[in-house]
Amino acid sequence: MYYVGIDIAKAFHIACVLDESNKLIVKNLRIESEISDFSLLNSELINITEDKTEFLIGMEATGLLFENLYLFLQNQGYNVVLLNPYQTNRFREMDTMKYVKNDNIDSQMIAALLKSGRYSQGYVSEDLYQAIKSLYRHKATLMQEMKSAKRQVSTTLAVVFPEFEQIIKDPFSVSGMALLEKYPTAKHYKGASADRILKVFRNIKGNNFNLQKANDLLDLARLTIYQGNAQEERAYVILSNLRRIRFLKEEIEACEAQMFTLLNESEQAVSSSISEDEEIYIADLVDNLRSIDGVADKTIFALLSECGDIARFKSGQAFIGFLGLYPTLYQSGNSTKYGKLAKRGARLAKLALYQAAIACVRHNDELKKVYLDKKSSGRAPKECVIIVARKLAMIIYSIYKHNTPYNPARVFNAQASLSH
């Protein structure tokens, strides 16, 4: 048997081949991210033996950088396993080279880990799940950019017109943005009149901005504590970020539309590599998940994106462990306090489930009862929400496993109550 360790990087990869006697047959083979170098690696392996079943190839699941080489080698007929970087780091800690890190040694460490057999194979989702994941991760990136732009506006506005939010509670509402685009700082109201301010709202439906508010705004601008420093430059920062926010809103809406197309019309959006049976399974699964009161499409999308086929987990508890749905503990003497969700686990899916649990407490009678029962027993509110999220995860796992709609009587009778 030959063990092939590949260290994945953006510009190039490093591969080595280890045999059963721990001899390096191939050492520090540099593979550029191009088809000719992928073929070169294939040729190097064929030169060792043409029997591809004699090779076990391993690489770390680092973002998406592994994907092209992974699929190439799979298509060539090799057994390729993905390794969690956490596993390779733990293996390194037990090795004499644990304080040395470079690409050449990393590939050797991966090969040695494969030979030891002390690893668990990572999960590679099917093409449909990859499509969902691409869209969901892109939306998450856009949302982070939106938060950043809003934070810059809020920070600057706190200097150039700190009194603004006394009149406009949400600067990023339709009315708030329209007003900031016309008057980005308190000093820009100089020469303005109440009538001119009201004209800003003329084409905004449903706004309740009136003459009294316009006059109050003018008074606040006149009496502002802002001294006018870097007025035009700060106005530019606000206006630039407002343009950015409008653009990001459009991109997020477009991304969400693409996401819902994928959920609702999978036969038009899914790659031809997905079988008809799998399309039907996903369509049924989405409908079944929608049957849970309090679970929105964004939660379903997060689960499909970050977890793939949940039915692969051996149990609901294994799924909960994958998510990392447990609180941090703070212990001092006889006192135990529960804090935020633990950092480990599938962060985006875990957050989506936590938010869904809050919605379920409002809209799902069975899960609301779980929350109230735990709260009445003295549990902290955050801990109660996590318990609901864990129960929700068990329900979702059951739906995945059996592909049946939500049935409170069956689910709550079949599953043991989660007490922690």
The pLDDT tens digits of the residues spanning 227-252 come to: 999 999 999 999 999 999 999 999 99
What pLDDT, on a 0 to 100 scale, did the predictor assign at position 328? 66
Q: Name the pLDDT band for 98 (thresholds 50, 70, 90).
A: very low
Question: What is the pTM for the complete model shown?
Answer: 0.70
Residue 385: pLDDT above 70? yes
Residue pLDDT, tens place only, 146-166: 999 999 999 999 999 999 999
What domains are defined for the chain?
2-116 (3.30.420.40), 137-248 (no CATH), 275-414 (no CATH)
Q: Name the pLDDT band for 337 (thresholds 50, 70, 90).
A: low
Q: What percent of the chain has pLDDT over 90?
A: 54
State how far the Cα of 238 lies from the Cα of 171, in Å rounded to an integer. 11
What pLDDT, on a 0 to 100 scale, did the predictor assign at position 417? 45
What pLDDT, on a 0 to 100 scale, did the predictor assign at position 336? 56
Q: List the one residue out of 330, 338, 328 whose CA is nearest residue 383.
A: 338
Q: List the one residue out of 41, 26, 27, 33 whose CA is nearest residue 12.
A: 33
State how far the Cα of 298 lies from the Cα of 352, in Å rounded to an integer. 8
> Between the CA of residue 91 and those of 62, 120, 346, 386, what are the distances in Å?
17, 12, 22, 33
Q: Write b or e for each residue in 32-58: b if 16 or more Cβ atoms lie within 10 A of its Cβ, otherwise e.
A: eeeeebbebbbebbeeeeeeeeebbbb
What pLDDT, on a 0 to 100 scale, did the predictor assign at position 54? 95
State how far the Cα of 2 lies from the Cα of 25, in Å rounded to an integer. 9
- Residue 302 exposed, middle or buried by CB count within 10 Å (0-12, 13-18, 19+): buried
Higher pLDDT, 98 or 113: 113
What pLDDT, on a 0 to 100 scale, did the predictor assign at position 24? 92
Q: State the average pLDDT over residues 377-404.
A: 89
Q: Decide: helix, strand or coil at residue 252.
A: helix
Higher pLDDT, 90 or 332: 90
What pLDDT, on a 0 to 100 scale, did the predictor assign at position 85? 75
Residue pLDDT, tens place only, 307-320: 888 888 889 899 99
**Tally of CA atoms within 13 A in the half-sphere of 61 that contains its CB:** 13
Strands (E), 74-225: 79-83
Q: State the average pLDDT over residues 103-116.
A: 85
Higher pLDDT, 220 or 381: 220
Give the phi and the psi of residue 102 in degrees, each rounded to 5: -150, 170
Residue pLDDT, tens place only, 219-228: 999 999 999 9
State how far the Cα of 149 lies from the Cα of 389, in Å rounded to an integer. 31
